[in-house]
Amino acid sequence: MAPAPARFINPIPNPSRYQKYNGVTLESLCEAAYHGNMEKLELLLKSGNADEIFNGDVNMHLTDVNALHMAAMAGQEGAVKLLLDAQADPHVRCVVSEGKDPQSGETAKDKAGKFKHQNIVTLLKSAEEKTPPGWYQADGIGNNRKLYAKPVEQSAPKPTDGGKKEEAKPAPKTAPKAAPKAASQEKSEPSLPVALLFPGQGSQYVKMLDGVKDVPEVKEMLSKANSILGYDLLDMCLKGPEEKLAETKYCQPAMFVGGLAGVCKLKSQNAAASERPRCMAGLSLGEYTALCAAGVLSFEDGLRLVKLRGEAMQEAAQVGKQAMLSVAGLDQPVLEQCCLEAEKKAGSGSVCRIANALFPKGFSCAGTEGAVNHLKELAEKKGALQAKLLKTGGAFHTSLMQPAQEKLEKALQEALPKMNPPKCDVYMNVTGESLPAGTNPKIILELLQKQLTSPVLWSSSVQKMIKDGITDFYECGPQKQLKAMMKRIDNKVWNKTQSIEV
């Protein structure tokens, strides 16, 4: 019997691996692979210390491509060899756009052939023949139900029985007392093909919560929030001023409470949808709201994390000049190339990357101010329908948020012992894939540790929900940001999306 395939988590032996979370991002790995920076790759994959080694999955997609794809398309033979040594899976395909067959996505060998790097084509062809498919499906997308449903153990993984499916752990019977019972499900009542969606920063407005402030559950949350935050959150939401409410450190707690208040409102309108959703997801900050609503975090622990997250992100945004740009009308590969050109034009130390993939040909990009300004010019020359600078606090979901991520890391580790497995599937920003109900919270922690410095794959998440059979969507929270995006993602599903505004 053939041995079970190993997990593709960077297997080159190194005593420094996994000693601690060090903040080294997938973006760093992909950039080194694309530029053929072998010295950097050696540090990240092989000879690094605890502060410099990459501890993540070498096969994870950064956008629609991963590190092996990028090395292959750039003709970096040495980088390809080193990544294969790290068990990069040559079978993994690029993510394709909505409506296309996933198996039509290009492999690293296809990328190399497209750019006429014949030596690399030969190398990857041999690797494909020698390497059995592992934790990745035939279409090249991570098989998360197989990868994530099994709890992570500290010891070496035990041999399996030759491919027999693992059963996800059952959800706990009771939710944290302070969290709305959004995902509570009686054993006799199956889940519904419903998704609860939670918006992120940018949907706030003065007078939000006015219509739900007297709902008993919302009143209780607001009372607890005042104690945790040290200020009157409801007063700020109702009276502003708008500029203060928009500040990251105030906006994020307000949106967190607003999303949960939306669940309370939905409960009064459609109890079944609020109590038996099949899945949840949140955009950026909204991911924390989703995890609380799914029973992973208590209201108090979730709000404490969000408070710290907002403060740390606002502080990180004040280091140097940062900017964000909304871009619509360009294909992702074209925009990625524009980002790389903008970084080169802006010079050493510049950053310009896709921060949010929101809908087909709709993105927000972020980085250092000079590079983002260059990106605006480049995008307009390429024919972008929109290239608009955003009023935002910083270059969120890029490497410039590394200081904030490091501060959040300690708080997440402290919260882990009190975290519960989710009671429904949760689609995560970093992967665009679902974590099944019952997933070990350690897996959730690993993804949250990457969220601030990784792009948000919102469009992929929603497309996957639709593919997985979700038919009804409820946006819980202020305004209609996510419903507006849904119209671009799938116009038919837009008609089945309701905004539960607060």
Query: Which CATH number belongs to the domain containing residue 60 in this structure?
Result: 1.25.40.20
Catalytic-role residue among 284, 326, 399, 499? 284
Q: For position 445, which CATH number holds?
A: 3.40.366.10
The two structure tokens encoding residue 102: 């996933």
Per the domain annotation, does 289 fall within a domain? yes
- Pair type for strands 192-198 and 472-476: parallel
Catalytic-role residue among 69, 184, 397, 434? 397
Residue at which a domain ends, from 108, 126, 142: 142
* 110 and 196 fall within a common domain: no
pLDDT above 70 (res 3): no
Per the domain annotation, does 40 fall within a domain? yes
Q: Give catalytic status of residue 374 as yes or no.
A: no
Dihedral Cα 256, 257, 259, 264, nearest 10 deg: 150
Per the domain annotation, does 147 fall within a domain? no
Q: Give catalytic status of residue 69 as yes or no.
A: no
Q: Does this model's pTM top 0.75?
A: no
Quick one: average pLDDT of 166-182?
43
Reported as a single tens digit per residue, the pLDDT across 73-132 is 999 999 999 999 888 889 999 887 666 777 788 999 999 998 899 999 999 999 999 887
Per the domain annotation, does 283 fall within a domain? yes
CA-to-CA distance for 337 and 220, rounded, in angstroms? 49
* 404 and 479 fall within a common domain: yes
Bridge-partner residues for 182, per DSSP?
A: none
- Average pLDDT of the chain, as a whole number: 86
CA-to-CA distance for 391 and 370, rounded, in angstroms? 16
* 399, 322 Cβ separation under 8 angstroms: no
CA-to-CA distance for 226 and 196, rounded, in angstroms? 26
Angle between helices 299-317 and 286-293 (to 10 degrees): 170
Per the domain annotation, does 366 fall within a domain? no
Share of the chain above pLDDT 90, in %: 69
Per the domain annotation, does 485 fall within a domain? yes
The two structure tokens encoding residue 52: 């410099």
Per the domain annotation, does 248 fall within a domain? no
* 71 and 196 fall within a common domain: no
Per the domain annotation, does 167 fall within a domain? no
* 59 and 196 fall within a common domain: no
Q: Which residue has the higher pLDDT, 457 or 183?
A: 457
* 196 and 125 fall within a common domain: no
* 48, 28 Cβ separation under 8 angstroms: no
Reported as a single tens digit per residue, the pLDDT across 226-273 is 999 999 999 999 999 999 999 999 999 999 999 999 999 999 999 999
Farthest-apart Cα atoms in the chain, separation: 68
- Pair type for strands 362-368 and 322-328: antiparallel
* 114 and 196 fall within a common domain: no
Bridge-partner residues for 277, per DSSP?
A: 192
Residue at which a domain ends, from 76, 111, 142: 142
Sole residue written with tokens 């027999």 = 164
Q: What is the 3-state secondary structure (H, E, C) of 128-158?
A: HHHCCCCCECCCCCECHHHHCCCCCCCCCCC
CA angle (248, 251, 253) in 5-degree steps: 110
| Residue range of the domain that includes 76 | 26-142
Nearest to 89 by CA among 29, 11, 26, 1: 11
Residue at which a domain ends, from 100, 124, 142: 142
* 17, 10 Cβ separation under 8 angstroms: yes
* 130 and 196 fall within a common domain: no
Q: What are phi and psi of 325, to 5 degrees?
A: -135, 130
* 196 and 92 fall within a common domain: no
* 271 and 404 fall within a common domain: yes
* 196 and 75 fall within a common domain: no
* 109 and 196 fall within a common domain: no
Reported as a single tens digit per residue, the pLDDT across 469-495 is 999 999 999 999 999 999 999 999 999
Count the domains in the chain.
2
